[in-house]
């Protein structure tokens, strides 16, 4: 095994010691580990192992947080851009329509923030909403085809974004690590 691989064991072993020349070494032999696959003298230092696991979990959670943050920026930006494009293309800037769309945008942002905060119910609600959104888009493609130059890219963008949201909330490992950490913080309060 390479040094990096053996160090994974040695860092969490009770029989480790530090040598200023070699770094972490075995206290039994005062040498760098030379085992293959498993050390026969390995004894778990649970405190160190928990710390190492916690550090790895926080690093993975950081990746999930970055993905979630990017998703929020993209979906809010795209929602605003698509609404503006719809108002320009279809010329329907009624005050009530604008207010209703701002309300929908605020609701979506609120739900995304709630998911970001670690609330399971919001994750399920948004997953369902995105699924229904995809079905609605697929069922009403004739509405989008009134102006094909706007309609086709809109359909593709929305389906892609909603599908990614469903994937992110339910199947992405990094997001799951982030969500579990957030959920732990919520219920620990």
Three-state secondary structure string covering 100-143? HHHHHHHHHHHHHHHHHCCCHHHHHHHHHHHHHHHHHHHHCHHH
pLDDT digits (tens, 9 = 90+) for 104-135: 889 989 999 998 888 889 999 999 999 998 99
Please identify which residue in the block is written with the tokens 């160190």. 48
Q: What is the mean pLDDT of the chain?
A: 81
Q: How far apart are CA 100 and CA 109, in angstroms?
A: 14
Residue 143 has pLDDT above 90, yes or no: no
Residue 79 has what DSSP assignment? H
pLDDT digits (tens, 9 = 90+) for 25-42: 888 888 888 787 788 888
Q: What is the pTM of this model?
A: 0.63
Q: How far apart are CA 100 and CA 60, in angstroms?
A: 38
Residue 156 has pLDDT above 70, yes or no: yes
Q: Comparing C-alpha atoms, which of 59, 37, 47 is closest to residue 16?
A: 47
pLDDT digits (tens, 9 = 90+) for 61-98: 788 889 999 999 998 888 888 777 777 766 666 677 77
What number of CA atoms fall less than 13 Å from residue 42's CA on the CB side?
A: 18
pLDDT number for residue 110: 92
Number of other CB atoms surrounding residue 169 within 10 Å:
20
What number of CA atoms fall less than 13 Å from residue 38's CA on the CB side?
A: 5
Helix (H, G, I), strand (E, B) or coil at 17: strand
Q: How far apart are CA 37 and CA 139, in angstroms?
A: 56
pLDDT number for residue 135: 92
- Is the separation of the CB atoms in 117 and 186 below 8 Å? yes
């Amino acid at each position: 095994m390479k040094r990096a691989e053996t160090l994974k064991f040695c860092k969490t072993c009770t029989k480790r010691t530090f040598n200023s020349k070699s770094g972490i070494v075995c206290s039994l032999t005062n040498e760098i580990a030379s085992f293959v696959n498993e050390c026969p003298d390995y004894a778990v230092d649970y405190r160190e192992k928990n710390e190492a696991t916690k550090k790895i979990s926080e690093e993975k959670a950081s990746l999930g947080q970055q993905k979630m943050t990017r998703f929020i920026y993209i979906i809010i930006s795209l929602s605003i851009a698509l609404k503006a494009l719809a108002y320009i293309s279809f010329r329907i800037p009624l005050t009530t329509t604008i207010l209703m769309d701002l309300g929908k945008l605020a609701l979506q942002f609120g739900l995304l923030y709630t998911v970001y905060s670690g609330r399971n119910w919001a994750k399920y609600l948004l997953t369902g909403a995105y699924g229904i959104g995809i079905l609605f888009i697929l069922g009403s493609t004739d509405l989008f085809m009134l102006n094909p130059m706007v309609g086709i890219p809109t359909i593709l963008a929305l389906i892609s974004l909603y599908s990614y949201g469903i994937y992110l909330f339910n199947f992405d490992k990094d997001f799951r690590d982030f969500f579990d950490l957030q959920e732990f913080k919520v219920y620990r309060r």
